[in-house]
Amino acid sequence: MRLYAALPFVELANEKTISLGPVLFWPVSRFPTFLPLDQHDAFRTYLSKSTPINTCISIDESIPLEQQESLVLDAINLLYFTCSFRDIYYFTNNPSFELLRVVIPLNSDLSQHPLKIKALVFSEQDLICLSCLETEVLEGLGKALASAYSNTTENSSFPRRLINSIRCFNNCFFPRILNYHTKQELFPKLLFEPEDSIMLAASFKALFDLSENNAKADLKHKMRPLLHLKYANSLELFWKWTDHFYSILEETTRGETHQTSFFTLNSNFSVSHGIIGFQLLIYSIYYHLFIHDFIKAEEEIKDFPPDFKWIHPENLLIFFWTEIELLQKINILINQVETQPEDEDSKNEIHFLVKLFMALQNHYERHPNEEVVFYKTPLTEILKQIEPILNSAKNPLIRDLLPNNFYHSLLQKKSDC
């Protein structure tokens, strides 16, 4: 590995190193480990005279000179994605890519070229601390990065498309314009959805290799099997989300103002198209890493979306189901199992739909989220679906199919009525 550059505004949590294929990110305090002994004195001198730095970047010495800048840029984008995608998927934080944009080039002859950048004014607020716990996806993206810069003939176009998709996606997370009339708060994120739709559309296009002439139809065709959408209601909601998303994109590129950015066709939710788009893209990235053998799934059941350690499909798919439709379908499947106790497909379907229902309960009904407006279904309507399930649960075969948290949740709803 050869020292190549530094990220002045980036700290690595617990001074851990992060490996991404042919690129290594390491804390500056550990330079004796990563630099040859004959460079130690020069590096200390450099640190005393130069702009303060926190994280260094080393690259594999086999990378050709003409590819090194591109490699480092790609690696920084993958690093940011790896450290932020969970916050984006679960709406727990609003990450910013801004501080990773500042890169200081370094060379082996440090003593001759101490670097000072007076325009950079450092403060505690300028620093970002990256905590990269997602070792599985980090390793998978590292494999993709290595493959993208491999000269072997087996190298496919997928790694390059994956990296380009993530680079476009990261552009959705630059700092927003500050509104100084409201105590320096950010303008509402919905105001930026037109720009986000452009970057998201570019991300989908790169990842799925979408048609130039009809990207919308191609995305529908390629994403449906990924999500394993098989029922009319959920499939129709996904079709309509795609139509609305691309209508926002078309209006934006024509310079028009769209009427609403909210997806409200699911009676239980009011959520921006962008939030669903972010989740769809993140799950799709995981799925593509999985089918190309860069990562493993935590749970893989035929005809169901694979479940991963950090990214669970139910948290996304609940936007394409209503509470009533979920319970109705569970009732139908329970009836099938009662008449055909050996029907394993129906049992697996019940298991998955129950996970969807509990995700909806846990993430929105019991723990409201400011990013998503959740509308509870009237209890009188819910009760019509709950009572048949509870009656069927008197049969030990059916009761064994229903997880305790789901069963007790139905009991609680019934008592609330």
Provide the pLDDT for residue 257. 63
Q: Are 132 and 83 in contact (CB under 8 A)?
A: yes
Q: Are 246 and 236 in contact (CB under 8 A)?
A: no
In this prediction the pTM is 0.88
To 10 degrees, what angle do helices 158-170 and 65-89 make?
A: 60
The pair of structure tokens assigned to 262 is 């909210």
Provide the pLDDT for residue 366. 64
Provide the pLDDT for residue 45. 82
pLDDT in tens, the chain (417 residues): 889 988 888 888 888 899 999 999 999 999 999 998 988 888 888 887 766 788 999 999 999 989 999 999 999 999 989 988 888 888 877 677 776 777 887 865 554 454 444 445 555 456 778 876 678 899 999 999 999 998 765 667 899 999 999 999 988 876 555 444 444 455 566 666 777 888 999 999 999 999 989 999 999 999 999 999 888 889 999 999 999 999 888 887 777 665 557 888 999 998 888 889 999 999 999 999 999 999 999 888 888 999 998 899 999 999 999 999 999 999 999 999 999 998 999 999 999 999 999 988 887 766 666 678 888 888 888 899 999 999 999 999 999 999 999 999 888 888 876
Based on DSSP, count helices (H) and strands (E) in the chain, helices before strands.
15, 12
Looking at this protein, which amino acid is placed at residue 172? C
Alpha-carbon gap, residue 60 to 40, rounded angstroms: 20
| Full DSSP string of 238-284 | HHHHHHHHHHHHHHHHTT---S--EE--STTEEEEHHHHHHHHHHHH
Provide the pLDDT for residue 317. 94
The pair of structure tokens assigned to 375 is 């509308």
Q: Where are the alpha helices (DSSP H) in 3-92?
A: 31-34, 40-49, 65-89
Strands annotated E in 278-392: 373-374
Q: How far is CA 99 from the centre of its chain?
A: 20
Provide the pLDDT for residue 49. 74
Q: Are 279 and 286 in contact (CB under 8 A)?
A: no
